[in-house]
Chain A
């Protein structure tokens, strides 16, 4: 099962290596990982999507991450009310004649053309990974020259529903 996990970490050299190394050592499969600074100096936030077989394995992931000294907080936010986004840059083969056709395809996705050359154009799209997949599928027939994705980043919505069926991974359960 795919889980979205966020970690607040101290921005020290080697921290990314610690975390990816740990996930690899414990045989957790990382689908995507994104890292960036937060508003607090010295603190970064990581979002990863991991594929785990069961809840016991998931509990191990969060506990092992929490054990890292540079990791301040780990949350599995999959089952919560969240906003999650990913950005993708897609470079496709395109002549001047095709440009407006492509424009028509990407518009409902609220994607934008950010670079144009003689025989290609580049599209920027943000959204949930499924939306990005859908756009990529639509653009594939034109010939994708290059594709870059940031991986998902996410956090909790400002307001959480009153009743949620959460599986707590707290030790106090």
Chain B
């Protein structure tokens, strides 16, 4: 890569779907709502668009209706283009084939698209992480080191939210990755992968073809781990805001962590974060309402008491209701005299008058999409 090269983004929206099966029953990890008005994909796409990338392919596997609905033509991300732009690739259904296994197979499905793109460099990213990577900074390092792969990682202690699907890099002083470990034990301070790579396109194409011949499908295990000594792989340490959505509890905590000026600043001021526009009116706080320590998106209407909560677009909280430590997704309607504590409501949930739902901080109550309590 040299400075100014064209870059293409490739995102895998279904990777890590299993981490929060409650929320991915009907959607991909990438379309899980997050942070009041976003979906997980918005953070990844905005990172790419923020670095001037204008060609992004999404390789989806299943449950992608909500994702397609959310992204539309890509216009809200400035990705509705004649050349490049946003493209969604469902599994390529030849008779007798199954949906792909592993990243290599998925990439092989769109190999023609990668080949014909004018780009020289490719960014691969999974879904399931909320971050604000400045890719221009990653590209600078990629150019400087002359890397074939630059793997992005965060220095952190492997713990509750960072344990799942972890890939740990051993990184030398010269930033060269000399070892790759999969499923490191909790408690270890490690260079934990953010499942995002900047890769030389020609090297990637050759590697995909080679792996397909050998029946290898797993990028991390078969390519990175086994072949680390044969490739110029460097590590990029990301120091910004990061949340891994690897369980319902992690999801809950990550949402509530945004009720904090510092978190908002670190996540939202690196580059704009784009999302689907819904044309809701600003939030209305009624007479007698009370709000402490919350974030709320447009379209909400608050008549009751709400504390330490994340309110997505169009949430209504009725008179005399008390909402504490809750994550209420789009269009949740809370009636009058309701008490909600440590509750996650999926989209379009209705909580009728005088109901009481109390979860524990360590085990929030989850109410599924369109349910009526």
Say whether A associates with B. no
Q: Which residues of chain B have a CB within 8 Å of any CB of chain A? A: none
